[in-house]
């Protein structure tokens, strides 16, 4: 069955690939011009930019505060580093509807640019015989179309994740080619925009060469010193208090969490439990269980990185493994993984597609399940399921949260279970030919 399917895709590879590209373009453009859920994520960035534009930094972390004497566009709490709000100031020069179109158009450009870079990077890794290159083209496009962490952002008014996908893809390529200054600056920029990626940066810092450490630490230090000098310390203290307050809190709507252990919360608490709670802080049992499992998974991942890289020559394959594995482990450390964050892990999908000759049928079948589960990450799909199950009980919330965590869980299983296949693929001679 699988052989027949692969043969059909191989035979019509170019047609299938271009159809998928056309569908992605249509899907993206429709999302750009359709004003869906602008009061969600878009309002977060628009209001932060509006406050930065008029200099009202004192209320940056007050989602209900008026801005320049007007009500905010939305009531979303901003979690970015204070100075990062300046990046969104240009949005406030436009009316919200126009700004949303421009923001989502920028998202679309970032997604396609990042996908193009990944395609160009791993195209040489595909087999040269038996139509391997054409098959890679088709499977890459099919996976990109189905990987809804890319496309769900258009249903919340846009996000910064597509930009992070682009700059961290550039960062990966720079890291592979030992351009550590560029990789370090881009990773520092990513953390500045989304502090949730700081654990990944910290783990990469442990394994990376000194030149990367110096550049990334220097870029981070310069940006933070500039932020404090320009905006003052009190707003930064408020930012740190905000992170401390929310880092150990219950999500309450747990099915928005795509983390493999996100289901722990609905397994222990239901709607009636939330209604009786005086605080949203995680109970000690849940906090300990959540943290313990995440640390154990990170330990397994970093143990593999250490095993495969300790004493090994400093090659592009080694550097690529370190960059991608620490990025993945950083997301595992995060207690909440919003579905669009999974776009940063698409590089693993692309790599296995390109190097499929090193992977067993079971591994490739698991990769297929990763891609087929990805539509569950789209907020439209989740909303439809919630509509069917509403009013949702504890069991309904648990099932939906498990489903939302399936993509990352399967991807993690692929990496851990088939670690020897990954190790063998890193020794493929193509690495030495494809780095130029």
Give the end-to-end CA distance of the chain in Å, rounded to a whole number.
38
Concatenate the DSSP letters of all residues of 13-31 into one string.
HHHHHHHHHHHHHHHHHHH
d(CA 81, CA 255): 26
pLDDT in tens, 176-210: 999 999 999 999 999 999 999 999 999 999 999 99
Give, as one character, the DSSP assignment of residue 51: H
d(CA 117, CA 287): 39
Tokens 């179309």 -> residue: 145
CA-to-CA dists, residue 130 to 3, 133, 134, 279, 429, angstroms: 14, 8, 9, 61, 19
pLDDT in tens, 355-399: 999 999 999 999 999 999 999 999 999 999 998 888 888 999 999
Half-sphere exposure of residue 338: CA atoms within 13 angstroms, side-chain side:
14
Cβ atoms 237, 81 nearer than 8 A:
no
pLDDT in tens, 21-42: 999 999 999 999 998 888 889 9
Q: What is the pTM of this model?
A: 0.94
Residues 317-327 as b or e (16 or more Cβ within 10 Å = b): bbbbbbbbbbb
Concatenate the DSSP letters of all residues of 332-373 into one string.
HHSS---GGGGGGGHHHHHHHHHTGGGS-HHHHHHHHHHHHH
Is the pLDDT at 10 greater than 90? The verdict is no
Beta bridge partners of 67: 70
Helices 316-333 and 198-207 pack at an angle, to 10 degrees, of 140
Per-residue pLDDT band at 2 (split at 50, 70, 90):
low
Which phi and psi angles does 285 have, rounded to 5°? -60, -50
pLDDT in tens, 107-164: 999 999 999 999 999 999 998 877 889 999 999 999 999 999 999 999 999 999 999 9
> Averaged over 328-341, what is the pLDDT?
94
3-state secondary structure 66-115: CECCECCCCCCCCCCCHHHHHHHHHHHHCCHHHHHHHHHHHHHHHHHHHH
**According to the model, what pLDDT value does residue 130 have?**
77
Half-sphere exposure of residue 400: CA atoms within 13 angstroms, side-chain side:
25
d(CA 250, CA 248): 7
Q: Hey, how many other C-beta atoms are within 10 angstroms of the C-beta on 280?
A: 13
d(CA 83, CA 106): 21
Is the pLDDT at 436 greater than 60? The verdict is no
> Averaged over 39-46, what is the pLDDT?
92
CA-to-CA dists, residue 148 to 17, 247, 349, angstroms: 17, 26, 13
């Amino acid at each position: 069955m699988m052989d027949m399917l692969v043969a059909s895709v191989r035979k019509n590879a170019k047609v299938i690939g271009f159809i998928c590209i056309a569908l992605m373009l249509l899907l993206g453009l429709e999302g750009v011009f359709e004003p869906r859920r602008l009061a969600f994520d878009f309002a977060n960035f628009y209001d932060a930019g509006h406050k930065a534009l008029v200099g009202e930094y004192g209320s940056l972390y007050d989602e209900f505060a008026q801005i320049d004497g007007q009500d905010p566009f939305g009531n979303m709490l901003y979690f970015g580093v204070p100075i990062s709000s300046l990046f969104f100031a240009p949005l406030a020069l436009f009316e919200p509807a126009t700004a949303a179109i421009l923001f989502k158009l920028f998202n679309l450009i970032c997604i396609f640019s990042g996908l193009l870079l990944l395609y160009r990077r791993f195209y040489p890794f595909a087999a040269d015989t038996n139509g391997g290159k054409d098959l890679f083209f088709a499977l890459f496009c099919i996976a990109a179309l189905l990987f809804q962490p890319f496309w769900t952002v258009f249903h919340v008014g846009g996000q910064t994740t597509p930009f992070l996908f682009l700059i961290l893809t550039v960062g990966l390529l720079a890291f592979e080619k030992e351009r550590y200054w560029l990789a370090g600056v881009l990773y520092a920029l990513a953390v500045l925009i989304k502090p949730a990626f700081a654990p990944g940066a910290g783990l990469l810092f442990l394994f990376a060469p000194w030149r990367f450490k110096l550049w990334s630490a220097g870029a981070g230090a310069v940006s933070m010193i500039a932020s404090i000098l320009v905006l003052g310390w009190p707003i930064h203290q408020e930012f740190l208090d905000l992170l401390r307050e929310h880092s150990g809190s219950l999500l309450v709507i747990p099915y928005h969490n795509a983390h493999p252990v996100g289901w722990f919360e609905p397994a222990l608490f239901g709607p009636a439990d939330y209604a009786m709670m005086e605080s949203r802080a995680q109970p000690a049992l849940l906090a300990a269980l959540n943290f313990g499992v995440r640390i154990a998974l990170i330990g397994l991942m970093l143990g593999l990185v250490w095993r495969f890289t300790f004493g090994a020559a400093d090659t592009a394959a080694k550097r690529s493994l370190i960059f991608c594995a620490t990025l993945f482990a950083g997301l595992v450390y995060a207690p909440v993984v919003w579905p669009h964050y999974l776009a940063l892990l698409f590089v693993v999908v692309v790599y296995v597609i390109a190097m499929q000759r090193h992977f067993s049928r079971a591994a490739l079948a698991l990769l297929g399940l990763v891609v087929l589960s990805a539509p569950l990450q789209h907020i439209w799909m989740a909303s439809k399921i919630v509509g069917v199950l509403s009013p949702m009980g504890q069991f309904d919330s648990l099932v939906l949260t498990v489903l939302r965590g399936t993509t990352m869980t399967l991807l993690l299983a692929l990496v851990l279970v088939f670690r020897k296949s990954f190790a063998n693929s890193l020794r493929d001679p193509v690495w030495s030919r494809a780095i130029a």
